[in-house]
Amino acid sequence: MKISFIGLGKLGLPCAEAVAQKGHTVSGYDIVDVTSKLVNVKDTIAEAVAGQDIVFVAVPTPHDPAYDGRAPTAHLEPKDFSYKIVKECLEEANKFMTKDQLLVLISTVLPGTTRREFVPLVTNTRFVYNPYLIAMGTVAWDMINPEMIMIGTEDGSATTDARELVRFYQSIMENNPRYEIGTWDECECIKVFYNTFISTKIGLVNMMQDVAQKQGNINVDVVTRALSKSTMRIISKAYMKAGMGDGGACHPRDNIALRYMAKELGLGYDLFDSVMNAREKQAENMAIEILKYGNKVQFSSDSYKPGVEYIDGSYSLLVQHYIKEHGGYIVKENPHIYVLVHEGDPTPNDVPIFDPWRTYKGPNVVYYGNTRKDKGIVCE
């Protein structure tokens, strides 16, 4: 195939050269002078896209340099990425491309950006959003040995364009990655939350290190080794389905105690406070959404998990607290909306069902957390 990369920097050039080494004819363009024995570097974007099958846009979405993490950033006002370079490249490429070609954006952006900012710029050619999971230092290897390949289309379906991109990747892969096909917005989410998952994991592990250092008689490696082998609930798919929030006798209580410990040890920060604040705000957000369907609300259960009667730390009761705080009423009959607390709880037939698990198959259901028009799931 004839492949081109717009952007031959620290991401684009190693990727382009990796593709060339797999037998494809590769061209490219960059605003600065670039030389390569494998990539035919062009002088303009028009020249770089001419006659190509697939054109990848691999340009940065930078922050102000003050936000790069080499110096403290927590005190700075939060800012979105800058999309100026991406927009300029998409507009220029669009001028010279046709419907016979496929334009693929791989840059990292916040959810909603592609649909709002980029798609209106692409009118002459076909478009797919395809962010990469690539680490600096191993770019070329990661390009042909990815953990997964995300392909974003307008409605999340496996379109002809998506299939064309899959066939291209199959021609260069040295492993057998999974393909996650979703909407543009879903793929944007997967990419940024993948990165923040890693940041959160590192932050929590390094907090264990601080506790070990300040508390005494603790080797942090003993702690992290034990946790890293815990494949039933921690290093697993467990708890990776959004629904009702964290509850039970242990988790909220332990986080509160750890907040106390963080203060007593003088760590200077408190991840556990953030966890508890997020838990409560998430419950309030759900309550506000439920009340959009009426102020008389019935819950399928008060217990914190299915199959038990315990209400200690019940997330259902926390949501009910916010229902009442926002002017709603908890009822046992004739509700305006019925909240499915646990998957498989009994449901009435004559009222709307509010399902935070997105698994109820009956009529008149509200799926919390699924705002896709088709309410579908493409990839399992």
Provide mean pLDDT across the span 171-200: 96
Mean confidence (pLDDT) of the chain: 94
Structure tokens at 10: 């620290």
* 55 in Cβ contact with 85 (< 8 Å): no
Distances (CA, A) of 62 to 83, 107, 233: 8, 10, 36
pLDDT at 379 over 60: no
For position 375, what pLDDT does the model report? Answer: 60
pLDDT at 144 over 70: yes
29-32: long-range contacts, CB 8 A cutoff, minimum separation 24: 29/4, 29/5, 30/6
* 129 vs 72, residue with greater confidence: 129
For position 380, what pLDDT does the model report? Answer: 39
| Percent of residues, the chain, with pLDDT higher than 90 | 83
pLDDT at 232 over 90: yes
pLDDT tens per residue, range 294-353:
999 999 999 999 988 899 999 999 999 999 999 999 999 999 999 999 999 999 989 999
Provide mean pLDDT across the span 5-34: 97
pLDDT tens per residue, range 276-300:
899 999 999 999 999 999 999 999 9
For position 51, what pLDDT does the model report? Answer: 97
pTM value? 0.91
Distances (CA, A) of 211 to 109, 201, 266, 272: 35, 16, 10, 13
* 166 in Cβ contact with 151 (< 8 Å): yes
Question: Locate tokens 């006002």: which residue?
Answer: 77
* 67 vs 372, residue with greater confidence: 372
DSSP code, position 306: T
pLDDT at 160 over 90: yes
For position 252, what pLDDT does the model report? Answer: 80
SS3 label, residue 283: helix
For position 79, what pLDDT does the model report? Answer: 87
SS3 label, residue 128: strand
**Alpha helices, DSSP H only, in the chain?**
12-21, 45-49, 84-96, 113, 139-144, 160-170, 184-215, 220-228, 251-264, 271-290, 315-325
SS3 label, residue 291: helix
Domains of the chain with bracketed CATH: 2-189 (3.40.50.720), 241-367 (3.40.50.720)
pLDDT band at 376 (very low <50, low <70, confident <90, very high): low
Phi and psi angles of residue 355, each rounded to the nearest 5 degrees, phi first: -115, 100
User: Helix and strand tally (H, E) in the chain?
Assistant: 11, 13
pLDDT at 26 over 90: yes
